[in-house]
Amino acid sequence: MHTATIQLHQLSIGYRHKQQVHPIATDLNATLHSGQLTCLLGANGVGKSTLLRTLSAFLTPLEGAITLLDQPLESYSDKALARTLSVVLTERIDVPDLHVADVVALGRTPYTGFLGNLKPMDYSHVETAMQATGITSLAPRELHTLSDGERQKVMIAKALAQDTPIIFLDEPTAFLDYPSKVEMMQLLHRLSHTMQKTIFLSTHDLDLALQLADCVWLLDGQGHLTTGLPEQLILDGTLPHFFHSEGVCFDSTTGHFSVKHHPTHPIPIRTSGQGLPLLMLRRALQRQGFALLDSSVPPHLEAPLLTATLDTDGAPCFVLNSNSSVASQRFSTIEAVVEALKATTDATPSPTNHHVRP
């Protein structure tokens, strides 16, 4: 059973400037739980950073309330809040001669007093945090010598050394390459489960969030917040309609978003086969502007049939059959298939009423 750690009650967020109030999102109701990774998703400008800053007590709510471990957020002193909630921001820290172990040790500031002297227990927390994030070998390195991925792990280790039950992160994968993004999200997911942390982060990495988040918060452009299990939000149609764009489509067979291609070639192509060869073939053809049908479309239509199969040696191959008297053509690469189709369709007038699937 996961414990509720943060609750939003009719929360309104935004900014106050002089006598004016500028709301960004209103009437937000949601709950964060221990032992879960929760991802905040939404387009640029919808208020993700504002919500994160409000939950971190950097901004004051316009209306409503935030409950932190069954107490009002505003009732916490700075010291008590620092022992309850840690925040990892996107900004880079570049201090000359600052070593990794020193940065992680800064997480103990809420416990070390004015002079900042570390006690054995503090060193133990620092060591545990570095082990949990896999950066023990980086301890003697200077911060400016690290890669972006290593640097982000150091900042997460600093948050772990702070020993708070709740960790917020603002775009933790923003400057990372794809393998590092995956590794970072897997690390955060593992930490939330093994250490029973409440980890809440904003991100634009939609597919990774849908695969690794225990819960997602969807903040839309109208200031409305929808929360739930990613798979449930896909099944009930919330996610497919949430990221609505002319260039984006939702694949109901895989549960992923993809680029929407617009056909430009006059003749659609029927495809058949299975597995990765068919998937790669269809992807390449769509990118080249071909409209795709499946093999169930009646063969009397002018659309040729392209079958992805395996050769006798197990290598992918592609067989093209048309309704003309031309014999079947066999290709060993997708490049050859595309060139052959272009040569055929560029010289063919466009038929009508092919019922092309989107």
Q: What is the pLDDT of residues 213-246, one digit of tens each?
A: 999 999 998 889 999 999 999 888 898 888 767 7
DSSP summary character for residue 219: E
> Which of 207, 224, 251 represents a domain boundary (last residue)?
251
212 and 290 belong to one structural domain: no
Q: Which amino acid is at 7?
A: Q
> Which of 251, 286, 318 represents a domain boundary (last residue)?
251
**Contact, 63 vs 9, CB < 8 A?**
no
Residue 162 within any structural domain of the chain: yes
Q: Which amino acid is at 6?
A: I
Residue 28 within any structural domain of the chain: no
pLDDT tens-digit readout, 276-311 = 999 999 999 999 999 888 666 666 566 788 999 988
Residue 143: left (phi > 0), alpha (psi -120 to 50), or beta? alpha
- Per-residue model confidence (pLDDT) at position 348: 53
Long-range contacts of 233-242 (CB under 8 A, 24+ apart): 234/210, 239/210, 242/41, 242/218
- Per-residue model confidence (pLDDT) at position 197: 97
CA distance 264 to 268: 10
Residue 120 within any structural domain of the chain: yes
CATH number of the domain that residue 143 is part of: 3.40.50.300
338 and 207 belong to one structural domain: no
192 and 234 belong to one structural domain: yes
pLDDT tens-digit readout, 151-163 = 999 999 999 999 9
Cα within 13 Å of Cα(26), Cβ side: 5
Mention every residue, 6+ apart, whose C-beta is less than 8 A from residue 184. 149, 152, 153, 172, 173, 176
Residue 14 within any structural domain of the chain: no
Residue 171 within any structural domain of the chain: yes
Please give the tally of structural domains in the chain. 2
In this structure, the strands spanning 71-72 and 63-68 are antiparallel
114 and 243 belong to one structural domain: yes
183 and 118 belong to one structural domain: yes
Token digits of residue 162:
């702070």
122 and 182 belong to one structural domain: yes
pLDDT tens-digit readout, 67-106 = 999 999 999 999 999 999 999 988 777 777 899 999 999 9
Residue range of the domain that includes 280: 269-345
Residue 239 within any structural domain of the chain: yes
Among the ranges given (136-140, 175-179, 267-271), the one the predictor scored with the smallest mean pLDDT? 267-271
Q: Which amino acid is at 140?
A: P
> Which of 251, 281, 296 represents a domain boundary (last residue)?
251
97 and 134 belong to one structural domain: yes
Mean pLDDT of the chain: 89
